[in-house]
Each structure stands twice: as C-alpha cells, then as structure tokens.
Chain A
Amino acid sequence: MTVATSTASFRPNAPGRLARLSFGRTIIELRQFFRSPEQVFFTFLLPVLFVVIFSTIFTGDIEGPPGVEKVAFAQYFVPGMIATGIVSATFASLAMTVSLEQHEGLLHRLSGTPLPRSAYFAGKIGLALVTSFLEVILILGIGVAAYGVKLPTEPVKWLVFAAVFFLGVASCSLLGIAYTRLIRTGSSAPAVVQPPYLILQFISGVFLQYSQVPGFLKVVASIFPLKWMVQGYRYVFLPEWIAQDDYGGGWKVEQVFAVLALWLVVSFVLARFFFRWNRGQTG
C-alpha cells in the first residue's frame, strides 16, 4: 500500500493541531448557535424574561433582623437567575443540540473524519463558555440597570464569582453531554430536558426563597449542582445575615466548591461512559 508522504507525518493528536481544531470547532459552534433563533431564544430569552417578570412583580424587600439594611427582592433573585442561566446555556442547550446532532447523523458524519473527539467536546464547552458568559452579563446588566442590583465590592467575592462560573460551566456542560444518553429520539429532546431542569429550579430556590423549600426537597436539590451554584452566587451578592435564615447559618462557600468540584469529576466520568457517537444503530 502506498502512503502519501504528507499523511505519513500526520500526527492526529499533536497539541498544536488539537488547539487549532478546538478553536475552529468553537468558532463554528458559535456561528451555528447565533444563526438558530430557537436556540438563542431558549438559551437567552427565557432567563431574561424571568428576570424581568419576577423583578417587576415582586418589588417587596426582604426584611432582616432589626438594625440591618433591607435587601431588594431583585438582589436576591438575580444571583439565582445567573446560576440558572448558566445551567440553561450549558446543560439544557448542550443536551438538546448534541442529541439533535446524534439523531440527525451529524455526529456520524464527524466521526468518519480524522477530527479528534476531544476537539468536538472542546468546541461544545467553548460554545457553552461564551454563551454562559454572555448570559451572565445580560442578566446582571438588566438587574443593575433596571432593578437596582448592587455589585459586590470585595475582590474575594469576584474570585468566587469566577470560580463558580468555571466550575458550573464545565460540570453542567459535561452533564448535558452525558444526559443525551437518556434522549431516545431527536424530537423528544426538549420534553426530556426541560422538566427536570424546571423542577430543579424550583426546589433549588431559584424562584422562591430557599428557606421556603420543604426539607425533603432540599435534600434532593442538594444532590445536584444548581442548588450549590445558586448558593455560591447568593454569597457573592447578598449579606451574611440572609444565609442565617436561608442556608442554615452561613453561605458555606467551601461546601459549594467541594460539591461543584466533585460534580466536575462525576460529570466527566458520566460523559465518558454514557455518551454515544453512534445512536440509532445497534453496533
């Protein structure tokens, strides 16, 4: 067999090539995303609508113990929406688009090329990073401009902000990729993805104060990353006394990091073992 000289020196997993292809995949993913109105709508518009509707309806303040400053409802609500916005841009968005690509044979097509699989995933996570970032900016911008949300001043809070962002994006993206295993047909994707995500939003205290969530549901919520992301962002935006009531005595930021880090490992393993390049074929 003759081997063309140019392919003889071909090293598919050379670091430079991986970096170049991961970047190329991210760019093409972003281009596809912004050209699909449904995707943009689901990912950006829904969380933004929630921010606007809830902040407009619930204008009351949260009263603290005597002597401390009250907290505007939006100040409490927006951090939760940032967390859920990230889950929307990562878990929900990737679970739906990746399963679509599985079922329409796009993955099949890609897997017939020398594109390294890691570059495909890198492109998905690159997309999720960019859209999550835009989502956070958007929600925060609306909160600050229209509902008087105050930004934290301590640098350590911004560090936590960034850490929760990166941990959340990475683990929820991988979780979304693993979750495609449960989606049996392309058209059922929204039905399989949205309900659990919506329920998690409620029991993680995104739409109501976490202290109002019944105890056993709190236990369920504590298993999943969303509750911890919400908690991390509330730490960033809210005073300590809110945690007394709401999170049983403190923000427990170390716990937030520990659980999210654990989820990063778990979701990596789940994605590794549950994701399938070949769906709809027996072998």
Chain B
Amino acid sequence: MTAAAIHAAGVRKRYGDFEALKGVDLDIPAGEVFSLLGPNGAGKTTFVEILEGFRDRTGGEATVLGRDPRDGDAAWRARLGIVPQSSGLFEALTPVEVVRHFATFYPDPLDPERVVGMVGLDEKRNARCKSLSGGQKRRVDLALGIIGNPDLIFLDEPTTGLDPQGRRQIWEVVRNFTSLGKTVLLTTHYLDEAEQLAARVGVIIKGELVEVGSPREIGGRQRATARVSFAARGGLAGKPLPEGLSAHAGNAGLAEIETFEPTRVVAALTAWAASHGEDELPELSITRPSLEDIYLRMIADSEHPA
C-alpha cells in the first residue's frame, strides 16, 4: 500500500503552439485524497485526462496504478472511477437504468440501488436523465464514477452546480470511499471543498504546479499573521491601546491588530479592557488567512512576479 497510486514526472502537454502543461511532477500515495486547485485554463483537466488515458502527453513520465496510462487496458480501467468535468448523459434512460448498465461493465461493482441512494437521487431514480436538473445530472455523473468500486477516483470539479446540501452529500460519499483506503484526485474551485476533503492540495497556475502542501500549511499559511479584531465601544472608546500594540481601523469601524502571537494579544487586551471597567471585548474575533486568501495571493504573485 506504500506505492504511489499516481506518479507524474515532468508531464508536458502541448496543443499546437500552446503549452498547456509545462512539466508537472507529482506523486500521490495510495489512500490519499489530493486536490488540484487552479484558475480556469490552468491545465487541471488536461493533467487529469492524461492520467486517465484520454489524452496523450507530449513529454514526461506518468504511472497510474502501476501502469502507463497510454497503454491502460480494460483490467486497468476497471480499477479507475472517472467523473469528467463535463459529459453528456444517456438522456432517454433513468439514473437507475444507467447505473445498473454501467455496473455490468465491472468485475466487482457496488450495488446500483445503493449507489443511487448514496448520491441522493432516490426521488429521481425513475425519471429520464433528460428531465433532471443540472445538479441532479452531476449526481448521476458521480454515481457512474463510483459504481465500479474503483481503487482510484478522478473527480473533475465534482460539485460544480450542486446546492450546499448536495455538496455535503458528495463529500460524504468521497469520505466513505477514502475511509476504505481508496485514492482520490479531485479538482475544484471551491477552497472549502479542498480543505474539507484533501490531505494535500496542489496549486497549478498556467501549466505549472507552483505549490503542494497540506491545506493548513500551503503558501506559508500556518506562519502567516493572524488578525485580532474587536469594536472599541463604550468604556473603551478612544482609549489608547496597551503598550506595544497598534491597531488599524478595519471594516465597520473595528480595530484590527495583525500579530504572530494572537493569544498574547488577546490576554493583553482583556487586561486592558478590565482596567477600563469592561469585562467584554465587543465583537472579538481572531482570524487566520483563509485558504482562499492564500490561493488568491499565489495567483496574484504569479501574475506580477516580484
């Protein structure tokens, strides 16, 4: 179980004169959930489809479940689950019919009825796919991706177009799978999704994998400053801050303090407030930069390199 499920070294893809992937190196161990982030057109789908064997790379090495995707055969595909970014559905069939039909392709499929339930399509199980809403169609996509009980699942923006409850349902399905030791490669534009599901995230910008790390650490996130903010109201209005602290005026009149030591700052503020007869710091909050803040900064940095 220690071998890499996915190994990519210097993977390149050129479309005519345009280089969509400029040498991507990535190893994903079996059992890991890895999420690829990146702006539109960064090359996520290209990379994923190269690993799935749908597109040919123009350079580099790739191994997926021990095989080069270029010559993956049916036995290899039986171990993959694929949820493409966009793909038509068999419009005249119902979700249950399609899922049952796909189940017959695999040596060891899951129970089709159960899978339809898992993706939250019980109510629409006998409706024609043509009549399903966008989010419901997406659930059929997911059902088709997992019906073969794959060892490795590729999810290309699986929850785009889903309502919040639907997204959580899908996350649940993915967690179920990973708890069984399966590997997942997920692309998404939802940072919370990556944070919820993935052990590691990779940010791909203009065909280059610029950062890889855990969602908590990527981009130096755990070393970045935290922000302590509160409202200087009532007895605190206009009072000078304790020695050594300086605040700037933030949103909605809040006082904001950037610090590497938020715990110490809050302790100092509490004592300071008490000395002015207040035992509450109104609207107190401590925030760290979200994954989204870090991600947006990385993209901005790549556009205006220092």
Contact = CB atoms under 8 A, between A and B. Distances in A.
B102 A113 contact: yes
B93 A112 contact: no
Interface of B: 1, 3, 5, 13, 15-16, 30, 49, 52-56, 58, 65-66, 73-75, 77-80, 82, 84, 86-90, 92-93, 97, 101-102, 104-108, 128, 144, 148, 151
B90 A112 contact: no
Of all A-B residue pairs in the complex, the 9 with the closest CB atoms, nearest first, are A104-B88, A12-B74, A105-B87, A35-B92, A114-B74, A10-B107, A114-B78, A6-B108, A112-B82
Interface string A239-283: 000000000000000000000000000000000000000100111
A282 B17 CA distance: 13
A105 B75 CA distance: 22
Contacts of B87: 104-106, 108-109
A101 B74 CA distance: 20
Interface residues of A, number: 33
Given A1-B30, A4-B151, A116-B74, A105 B92 contact: no
B186 to A, nearest CB: 16
A283 B53 CA distance: 10
A35 B148 CA distance: 27
Question: SS class of chain B's interface: helix, strand, loop or mixed?
Answer: loop
Contacts of A35: 92-93, 128
Interface in A86-126: 101, 104-106, 108-109, 111-116
Given A13-B74, A278-B54, A113 B84 contact: no
A128 B64 CA distance: 38
Given A6-B107, A10-B78, A281 B54 contact: yes
A198 interface: no
Interface string A26-61: 001001100110000000000000000000000000
Nearest to A113: B105
A70 interface: no
Contacts of A32: 90, 92-93
Interface of A: 1-2, 4, 6-7, 9-10, 12-13, 20-21, 24, 28, 31-32, 35-36, 101, 104-106, 108-109, 111-116, 278, 281-283
B106 A113 contact: yes
Given A106-B89, A281-B55, 14 more contacts: A1-B65, A7-B78, A12-B74, A21-B104, A24-B104, A28-B90, A28-B101, A36-B92, A106-B87, A108-B84, A113-B148, A114-B75, A114-B78, A116-B74
